[in-house]
Amino acid sequence: MKKLLLIIAIGICSNSFAQGCSDAGICSIGNGFQTTDKELKNGIEVGTIFGAGEADVTYISPYITYTRTINERLSLSSKITYSVANGSFGQRGSFGDAYLIGNYNWKPKTNTQWSSLLGFKIPFTSSNLKINEFSLPLDYQSSLGTFDLIAGLNLNYKKWDFNTAVQIPVFNNNKNSYFKEFSDTDDFPSTNLFERKSDALFRTTYTFQTHNKKFTFKPNVLFIYHLGEDSFENAFGNRETIQNSDGLTINGNIIGAYAINTKNSIELSLATPFVVREVRPDGLTRKFTAGIIYKVSF
């Protein structure tokens, strides 16, 4: 069985169903596009994620992913995200990010398959969408406005998958202009000219199928560590660290898939965080997410 790692998102995240995981993209690493037919070189995935975030904000986040298998070792994938946020500030929607990912499968051994990936996240916005010229917190933005490097490693052992990954902002184009002091609510922290630190992820997934292989279930647990405290520029032009914005997030996720035939499948997913960081200024936290995904290979 050929296992291709994809950036799916997020972000939930503007990401996929893993946005219950409070990440900036890496939560969706390791969700497999699988096919047993070596003649099928192309895969398209279309999904929509519903999520509930901080305060009263809700999200609908569709995305599309295309994967091309170059050979038995190498595959390339691209993804485009869109997000609509709705809450007391109003409703705002926009394209979020584009992902370009390369995945390499190492030579398999008995019951063991290693693979690695390298990719980039490219934002479509500078994270300063507004409603009626009023600045919005990052919870209403479809992207964080950063150009990120993503690197990951996956080990498949029998029915288990173990993923580790890092996501590093290499260029910051965030021009957000939201100040809590000028707002009628304290639900969201100030994020003017926001700068975000890197993330590291570890995920464990167990896969089991029904006897006829029509149904597949993938419960998984994710550990995401935000590697530093984020910062913003205050009204006096000085940069302030956002205290307690670093730390650990732990998420649970269950994926159920139905194989219509060898080329088509449908997935449903549910995700929620068990442990969250004390302060989450990036707007990526979700109380829960629910997603539906359609996959076709050809």
pLDDT digits (tens, 9 = 90+) for 236-261: 999 999 999 999 999 999 999 999 99
Say yes or no to pLDDT of 3 above 70: no
Expressed as residue numbers, the domain containing 25 is: 2-297
Whole-model pTM: value is 0.88
Question: How does residue 273 score in pLDDT terms, banded at 50, 70 and 90?
Answer: very high
Q: Note the pLDDT of residue 37.
A: 60
What's the pLDDT at 38? 66
Residue range 46-71, pLDDT digits in tens: 999 999 999 999 999 999 999 999 99
Whether residue 15 has pLDDT greater than 70: no
% residues pLDDT > 90 (the chain):
85
Q: Is the pLDDT of residue 12 over 60?
A: no
| Residue 129 reports pLDDT greater than 80 | yes
Cβ neighbours of residue 34 closer than 8 Å, sequence gap 6 or more: 1, 2, 3, 4
Tens of pLDDT, residues 172-216: 999 999 999 999 899 999 999 999 999 999 999 999 999 999 999
The mean pLDDT of the chain is 89
Q: How far apart (Å, rounded) are the C-alpha atoms in residues 53 and 49? A: 12
Question: What pLDDT, on the 0 to 100 scale, is given for residue 39?
Answer: 76
Residue 29 has pLDDT above 60, yes or no: no
Checking DSSP bridges between strand 208-209 and strand 239-241, what pairing results, if any?
A: unpaired
pLDDT, one tens digit per residue, over 159-184 is 999 999 999 999 999 999 999 999 98
Tally of domains in the chain = 1
**Confidence label for 14 from pLDDT (cuts 50, 70 and 90):** very low
Give residue 18's pLDDT: 35
CATH of the domain at 21: 2.40.160.40
Please report, rounded to a whole number, the percentage of residues in the chain having pLDDT higher than 70. Answer: 87
